Amino acid sequence: MTDDVLSQDEVESLLSAMDPGNIPGASSQTTARRPALARSQGKVTPYDFKRPERVGKDQMRALQSLHERFGRNFGAALSALLRTIVEVKLTSVDQLTYSEFVFSLENPTCFNLLRADPLEGNLILDINPSVLYPIIDRLLGGGKQTGPTARRPLTEIELRLVSLITTLFTTELRKAWENVLELDIVVERVESNPQLVQIVPPNEVIVLVSFELTLGDIRGMMNLCIPFNSIERFSNKLSSNSWAGYSRGGGSGQTMATISERLDRAHVELIVTLAESTITTADMIGLRVGDIITTDQDVNRPLDVAVEGVTKFRASPGALKGHKAIQVSEQVLPRRSAAEE
């Protein structure tokens, strides 16, 4: 057994034999590998497995465009409700984990759980107290002067007033999404402590859409949390190309009927040109009652009828029941451009 044990000299000899400098050709191979290794390290990008990017760039761009329009419409609707200017600006559209979102919120806050069929699970609307309480104060008749922000859960009366805002939010959100998906959005419940609500596992990826609300000198954040598993089945409809295609789609029959009905009641300016002539300013100033102005207009030539300044018809002059009138004889077709020809 003692013959199988290596002595210290034998161990050091083996270690020195494993040194690349003592292996023929090893130094040149190592030198050749180093530039390739350096080049490969330059292309390596770190990947955090705790925050996987499961939402594609096309979907993120589509969500950004969709909620930018929503922000403008919601700001206008909120301004009408509060009778003052409220600016709603989209600040970011990010993807992160649910735990990161929850622990970034204040406590207490206004934490609304939304159900948006046919999306699976729940969405979350969080309204920061720094802007929520001034809005409530405004709804109750308060002025521009506001006191320090309260750090407490909402009362029953305040919850009723907040429902006006959330109803406005869900209405405008439904309109913003209608070109992609018909959503039926309702508020299931309102919580004050966000850490007590867990709609998805802590490491689940969510899309966080953040808005900044500006009410006079007051600013605050409003966040919409969309879990990835809620929109995973409909992610193909959120690509930027297909979303743009949806927005350019033809109107429904009901929309066209509504527009036609409103156009039928619209008032337009109708001008009939009897004749045209050119005179000097001195002759015009010297005109008196009974003077006759000669023109080159043939009495048998149709008159031009303009609608809102655009010639649309040809007509003949006449009278009807003691009133001056015209009889339309033909329609003037619009001129085609050289490019169309």
* Domain definitions of the chain by residue range: 57-257, 267-276+297-331
Enter the tokens of residue 221. 């954040």
Residue 55, pLDDT score? 73
Q: What is the pLDDT of residue 224?
A: 93
170: how many CB neighbours lie within 10 A of its CB? Answer: 20
pTM above 0.95, yes or no: no
How deeply is 324 buried, as exposed, middle or buried, from its count of CB atoms within 10 A (0-12, 13-18, 19+)?
exposed
- Please tell me the predicted confidence (pLDDT) of residue 19: 60
pLDDT, residue 167, reads 92
| Total Cβ atoms within 10 A of residue 325 | 13
Helix (H) or strand (E) holding 135: helix 129-139
Does residue 120 register a pLDDT over 80?
yes
- pLDDT per position as a tens digit, 289-299: 988 888 887 77
Judged against a pLDDT cut of 70, whether residue 207 lies above it is answered with: yes
Over the range 94-125, which residues count as b (16 or more CB within 10 Å of their CB) and which as e? Answer: ebbbbbebbeebeebbbbbbbebeebeebbbb
What CATH topology corresponds to 267-276+297-331? Surface presentation of antigens (SPOA) (2.30.330)
Check whether 331 has a pLDDT greater than 80: yes
For residue 260, the SS3 value is helix
Q: Would you say 176 and 69 are in contact if contact means Cβ atoms under 8 Å apart? A: yes
pLDDT band at 144 (very low <50, low <70, confident <90, very high): low
CATH (one of 3.40.1550.10, 2.115.10.20, 3.40.50.150, 3.40.1190.20) for 57-257: 3.40.1550.10
Quick one: pLDDT at residue 50? 55
Q: In which element (H, E) is residue 72 found?
A: helix 57-82
